[in-house]
Amino acid sequence: MPKHYDIIIVGGGPAGLTAAIYARRAEKSVLILEKNGFGGQIAQSPRVDNFPGIPSVSGAELSDKMLGHALELGAEIDLAEVTGVEPRGGGFTVRTPDGDYGAGAVILATGAKHRRLGVEREDELAGSGVCYCAVCDGAFYPGRPVAIVGGGDTAVRDALLLSNTCSKVYVIHRRHEFRAEKANVAALRSRDNVELITGARVAALLGGDELTGVAVEDIETGERRELEADGLFVAVGHESDSAPFRGAAETDEAGWFTAGEDGVTMTPGLFVAGDCRRKSVKQLITAAGDGAAAATAACRWLDSQIRED
């Protein structure tokens, strides 16, 4: 028989760790299953300046504190990839390549992945000049030149934000027209320190241990140009990690879970939390809030099953 827990949380980022803290406070047995590393995307951020009550902290330190908090309260953890969640006998079987677990309730906090450019050395320079969140990391580049890749609303808003403090902002977009809101594009064009480079792609990342620039290639002619940039902000969208669970929880066409703020899904006892959920703001604080809400809903659901029995 697989080991059984009141609640199994799939994903060890801010949403999953917060859910574990709240579930343990409610005296539920908890297992967190994480396939990569605890802390999620925030663990890769050199500095976090916008978490309430903590003026400045590295993402790794904040992640360690959240994990330590969950462990101190008695949550258990395991590094394992969850390949499926199946309703079984009033609860769930949670499947991993190394064995199965039993759970009374499951919280999916699988997060989201930044869509990558696919350029050589991108992963190597992540956190050393290559960034995926202007709100999180833009403050590291005051008075310095940066580049941003993308043509949607996020890229244009991020470019406007960066242009307030950076000496130069290159906006690189593979199409000639931007998909972003026209008013924001017009505002971007009016900034003296912004240069729009359209019909182009990033062909190479320059520098050693730290990014010093990017090589940009014209898509039609192949002509290359090197840009000085201490930071490259990639804003080409996100990808959901929901694929193994789409039969159990509702998703939209892009694969984001469509549950409300309480995390309740169409499967009784299955909840979702964090950046894997469709919502307009995906930040550390909203992920933590989702985790708290989903854990509270899961505990209430478990308690209601006990009363019915």
CA distance 45 to 233: 13
CA distance 13 to 17: 6
Q: Tell me which of 6, 131, 133, 158 is the catalytic residue.
A: 133
CA distance 156 to 183: 10
Q: Tell me which of 131, 136, 166, 276 is the catalytic residue.
A: 136
Active site includes 137?
A: yes
Region for residue 263 given its phi and psi (left: phi exceeds 0; alpha: psi -120 to 50; beta: otherwise)? left
Amino acid at 289: G
Active site includes 136?
A: yes
DSSP β-bridge partners for residue 99: 96
CB 23 within 8 A of CB 7: yes
CA distance 183 to 157: 11
DSSP string, 166-211: -SEEEEEESSSS--S-HHHHHHHHT-TTEEEEESEEEEEEEESSSE
Active site includes 49?
A: no
Q: Tell me which of 6, 131, 137, 299 is the catalytic residue.
A: 137
- For the annotated catalytic residues, the residue numbers are 133, 136-137
